[in-house]
Structure 1
Amino acid sequence: MKTERLLAIIMILLDKKQVSASQLAETLEVSVRTIYRDINSLSEAGIPVTTSPGVKGGIQIMDNYKIDKHFFTSADITSLLIALESLSTNVSPLQINQTFEKIKTLVPSGFMEEIEFKTNQIAIDLTPWTSNHTLQPFLEIVKFGMDQQRLLSFDYADNKGRKTTRIVEPYRLVLKEISWYLQAYCEEKSDFRTFKISRMLNLSLSSSTFVPREFKAKPLGKEPFYGKNFTITTLKVTHKIKEQLIDKFGQLSFYPSNDSEKLIVEFPFMEDEFGYNLLLGFGNQCECLEPPHVRTELRRRIENLLELYQKS
């Protein structure tokens, strides 16, 4: 969110001429130290920001500097507002509202109605169907840690249930499908690691700070679906499953089966836990017809599940 904050600082300074660091810190809900780091970033980017000491001193932009509001088209501002709206479920409402108001100052006179109309044409709702009451406070702690360059500590359970306690330097939050991840430098592993937020427990912010390392973002986990080796399977599915397959994998070729209520589709299947769990998750609305070895493995897994529930 640093880019949004830098833009907000510029707009505040253009509007109020001179502001103290403490006033900026209070308005943007960050520390004074963060404000001074932001001012240095603006100076390095060529923005003529100056500071003056004393009771009547403060931070200001040189009088001959201005941003032409017409530099931003209505399409540019619409895109910014839509992007902010999509974050509203994971960022505090106060922060979103403040940013909205600052971006609206960029709107050329007479264009506000048009931009509001265009913004309402697209809605991005990232809210999951089921709620996680710890997610919002955890995201706020992580974002504060990144902003203040403070260490985070938490208990972590990996995908095999193994539990460890980690102390990390937070660098990046990533939203992948419906899950949030933290990319951080782990002191225990002496390397960068990716942690799933939902697997964290007892997350806390340390009073210790860290000096940022060189961080290069890496893609999360698995390769994209199209980069995998897959097996062509023949599935018999209901119309409901057809919609789910299209949502996840794009357009596939479906054709009627002898059973008029179901469809046949040739599906590129990944022979791993993800693939088998995907098909089994469709229940009795999906049947694998071919190849035989995939059908046999699905049957073995179903029998193991049945045996589990038949135990007294």
Structure 2
Amino acid sequence: MKLERLISIIYKLLNHEVLSASRLAEEFQVSPRTIYRDIDAICAAGFPVVSYQGTNGGYGIMDGYKMDKSLLGSYDVNSLITVLRSLSTVFEDKRAQGTIERLQTIGPEHQAASLSVDLETCRTEPDALPHLRTAIAERKVVRFDYIDVKNERTNRDMEPLSLHYKYRNWYIHGFCRTRRDYREFRLSRLTNLFVTQETFEPHDEMPEAAALSNKGWQDPMEDVVIRVDAEALAEAMDQFNQVNKQFHADGSMTMRIPVYRPLEARWLWTILLSFGSGAEVLEPPALRGILKEQLQHALKLYKDV
């Protein structure tokens, strides 16, 4: 613990002009006397620490002293800092923040960030991500309620193994004790998360998360063709960007969207219905019938309006 604290203090001094002993003591939850001893140890190790007196006094590193920047280029450092910042925000990870400070010491000075990453977390319970990450690190069983694609609600006990961010959503991958098999759950459909005190050991054979995601997707994709009016182009392109698009002289657009089992893909129906009169499904015909039925059900809710 002391060695880790010493290393952290060194990087903090490299990233700040002056830090007081009281500020360092408060951050590392030790006494100022311990910080004084740490500074002595850092000086003995050859780091040029300078003491500044006065109201705004404290400790700093001698001007002109820099760490070797040859190990990583500025592009590498900035990219790592960008990713770590987004992760430290999502998971409230102080260790990631410490890594950022260490990387900043070998990064280019006075260079504005050219890239920003905001990992969307509004689709999860507020504390779900940090709680799940802790459960993964400590190998603790988690319990939660889950609503599947068929809108059926079940209670699950799970041995969590890894978190994944894909398709603009967070997923948890692990061994589901309820189903006695590996599963992947979308966090937006997860409620009442509870981290138990029961620990677990990984099973002998663990499938890769990628293979788990593709399980049951051997059937070929089917094209869904929609015609989008000019006033709905931006919304449609936000939802279906990397698909075949054909623009027409009247300002409309035809999209050809490959979908796995579109007649069962409720997520697709929701998106298409959200376009209102701005988009029309051309193919497959059966999907047109499904959307018509969905609209008729919705109209019944407002029959008295």
TM-score (norm 1): 0.64
Q: CA deviation at 1:68?
A: 6.5
- Equivalent residue for 2:229, pick from 237, 243, 249: 237
Equivalent residue number for residue 204 of structure 1: 194
Distance 1:70 1:247, change over 3 A: farther
Distance 1:137 1:266, change over 3 A: closer
Distance 1:150 1:77, change over 3 A: same
CA contact (8 A) 2:228 2:236 kept: no
Equivalent residue number for residue 146 of structure 2: 156
User: What letter is aligned with 1:307?
Assistant: K
Q: CA deviation at 1:182?
A: 0.8
**Which deviations, in whole Å up to 9, do the C-alpha atoms of 1:122-152 show, x marking residues without a partner?**
1122236xx45x6341111111111111221
Aligned residues: 242
Structure 2: how far apart are the matches of 1:215 and 1:239?
48
Distance 1:171 1:232, change over 3 A: closer
Q: CA deviation at 1:206?
A: 1.8
Q: CA deviation at 1:173?
A: 0.5
Q: Which runs of 5+ in 1 are unaligned?
A: 1-7, 17-25, 28-62
For 1:268, what is the secondary structure of its paired residue?
A: strand
CA contact (8 A) 1:141 1:205 kept: yes
Taking the TM superposition and a 5 Å limit, the aligned residue runs for 1:24-103 are 69-92=69-92, 94-103=94-103
User: What letter is aligned with 2:138?
Assistant: Q
For the pair 1:178 / 2:153, whether they are aligned, the reply is: no
Equivalent residue number for residue 267 of structure 1: 256
Equivalent residue number for residue 137 of structure 1: 127
User: What letter is aligned with 2:296?
Assistant: E
RMSD: 3.7
Equivalent residue number for residue 52 of structure 1: none
After TM superposition, the structure 1 stretch with the greater mean CA deviation from structure 2, 76-85 or 214-223, is: 214-223
Q: CA deviation at 1:185?
A: 0.8
**Which deviations, in whole Å up to 9, do the C-alpha atoms of 1:56-90 show, x marking residues without a partner?**
xxxxxxx9xxx964121222111111211232441
For 2:162, what is the secondary structure of its paired residue?
A: strand
User: What letter is aligned with 1:229?
Assistant: M
Structure 2: how far apart are the matches of 1:242 and 1:228?
28
For the pair 1:252 / 2:242, whether they are aligned, the reply is: no
Q: CA deviation at 1:276?
A: 3.2
Q: Which has the larger radius of gyration?
A: 2
TM-score (norm 2): 0.65
Q: Which runs of 5+ in 2 are unaligned?
A: 12-26, 29-44, 46-66
Equivalent residue number for residue 112 of structure 1: 109
Structure 1: how far apart are the matches of 2:286 and 2:83?
46
